[in-house]
Amino acid sequence: MSLGLADGMKVRSRFAPSPTGRLHLGNAWTALMAWLDARQRGGSFVWRLEDLDPARSREEYAEAAMADLRWLGLDWDEGPDVGGPFSPYRQSARMELYAAALADLREQGRLYPCFCSRAELMAVASAPHGLHLEGPVYPGTCRRLDARERAERAQRKPPSIRFMLPRDPVVFHDLAAGPQCFPPGAGGDFIVKRADGVFAYQLACVVDDAAMGITHVVRGFDLLDSTPRQIHLYRALGWRVPWFAHVPLLLGTGGERLSKRDRSVELASLRMRGIRPEQVVGCLALLAGLTDRPEPVRARDLVGRLQLPRLPKGQVALNEPVRKALGLH
């Protein structure tokens, strides 16, 4: 597997939020790690808007997210607001690229239509070993259909399109989480285009990262299970695989995942309450082990301190000193 930087290749990292809600401390945590890593490596930082789902994406959230990160002191070299050599930086404007990749995979015989209903997939999830971070492990039901069965089912229901996993393991070194090994077939065949015509995250993410020359993908640990699927796509399409770094998730005090529905941890809410950006960055730096107390600090003053392998292992909770410093109850 071709992984890493070719000679003379410049580091390129990205932050790729979905405009489906306002950014919270967990989003800021991941963005800060990605930004620091890019700046320390002397690379470019790219903002890409993952607005594939028109039913949930809203322009006001996209604009608010950019304002929030600028407030924190994070900048980017390319993005939907500043342009760049790989425009457009909105997935909703890049459909032709996804269609071309899908056609390539189809020509290789790596795709098949899936007619399974949501109820059938949920039944899989309730079976032993059926759960997976990416959803139910698909058992390959429609993979075994012959041409006649597919034609009959297509008359009753538009299919989604699944990628047929090869019988190869995926082994890679994660810059934050360490060595990773996924056995053949991990997670099952996955959807690359939904039945409603929307391209799936896995395909769009790989196409965009490859087209934009992304060399380092720094993102949350919850997306680790996406990585073997994406590596299979990189291999199938003949593209270089970037370095991955899955940083620990930032959780609430009780161990719950931070949610876009929790207004108290939104960056906009903190700003409205008079919290300064340096206070937020200082608290995130403390949780990452970059400082030893929750003192205000500018993001640019942390450049050079981040060491991805030394980030805390497992999940990181908003502890009492941080909650006190940010006025959280």
Contact 193, 202 (CB under 8 A): no
Helix (H) or strand (E) holding 278: helix 277-287
Contact 266, 67 (CB under 8 A): no
Q: Is 7 helix (H, G, I), strand (E, B) or coil?
A: coil
Q: Which amino acid is at 88?
A: P
The Cα–Cα gap between 246 and 226 comes to: 11
Residues facing 157 on adjacent strands: none
Contact 228, 170 (CB under 8 A): yes
Backbone angles phi, psi at 182, to 5 degrees: -115, 125
Which are the contacts of 145, defined by CB distance < 8 A and separation ≥ 6?
A: 112, 115, 153
- The active-site residue, picked from 10, 157, 260, 324, is 260
Q: Which of 301, 216, 251, 302 is nearest to 34 (CA)?
A: 216
CA 129 to chain centre: 24
260: annotated active-site residue: yes
Contact 208, 91 (CB under 8 A): yes
Q: Which amino acid is at 270?
A: L
Residues with a known catalytic role? 260
